[in-house]
Structure formats: C-alpha cells, structure tokens
Amino acid sequence: MSTTGIESWAVDLKDVGALYPFQGTEGLFLIIGVVLWIGWHVLQMRAEKADYDGIVGRHGDDASINEALEGD
C-alpha cells in the first residue's frame, strides 16, 4: 500500500508515470484550490476596505494630512 502507487523501485522507469500521491483526486484538489483563490480575494478586499475606512475615520482630518505631507 502506497499513496503514490509505487511500492518498490524494482521497475523499469519507462513504465513509470505520475509519482505524486492520491492520483485521481486532482479534480477535487483543483476545486479546493480555486475556492481558496477566490476566497483570498474576497477576504483581502474586505480587509483592505476596512483598513482604509479606519484610517480615514481616525486620521482623515486636515491636521493629520498636513502633518503627513510635511513628513514626506
């Protein structure tokens, strides 16, 4: 029993193809990967908006902006 399907190297390499484990589940892992990718964008966009809202709320006054511009 081996997750890769290879249980011994007593083989002719020309007969060997895929080496990775859990062959046959590529489609499932693709779905998981795509969900993670889309989810990352959603979480990131939410977090970025919240960050900017927070900055504008706390420091968006003229005095803070002028201070920041002086320091640039």
Partner 1 sequence: MEGNLNALTTVFTEFYYWATIPLMFFIHIGFCMYEVGASRRRNHMHTLMKNTMLIPLVTITFFFFGWWLYWAMPNGPWITGGLDLAAGAANTPWSETMGPNAGDRITGVFWAAFLLFSWTAASIVSGSVIERINSGAFWILAVVIGSVAWIIDAAWGWHYGGWMVQLLGYHDAYASGVIHAIAGGFALGILVVLGPRLGKFAADGTPRDINPHNPWMVCIGLFLIYAGFWGFYVACNVPIIDPPTIGGQITGDTWTATTIYLTPTTLGAITVNFLMSLSGGLLAGYLVSRGNAFWTYSGGLAGIITASAGNDLYHPIHAMIIGGFGTYCAYKLHFWVERKFKIDDAVGAVAVHGYAGFIGLVVCGFVLWGHPSSPYEGYATINPLGQFVGAIIMFFVLGFLPGWVIAKILATAGMLRIPKQVELLGLDFANNRDEQAAAADVRETEKAAV
Contact positions vs partner 1 (CB under 8 A): 13-14, 16-20, 23, 26-27, 30, 33-34, 37, 40-41, 44-45, 48, 51-52, 54-56, 59-60, 64-65, 68-69, 71-72
Would you tell me how many other CB atoms lie within 10 Å of the CB of residue 5? 15
Closest to partner 1 by CB, 1 or 20: 20
CA–CA–CA angle 5, 7, 13 (5° rounding): 80
Yes or no: say if 6 and 19 are a contact pair by the CB < 8 Å rule.
yes
CB of 29 to partner 1, least distance (A): 8
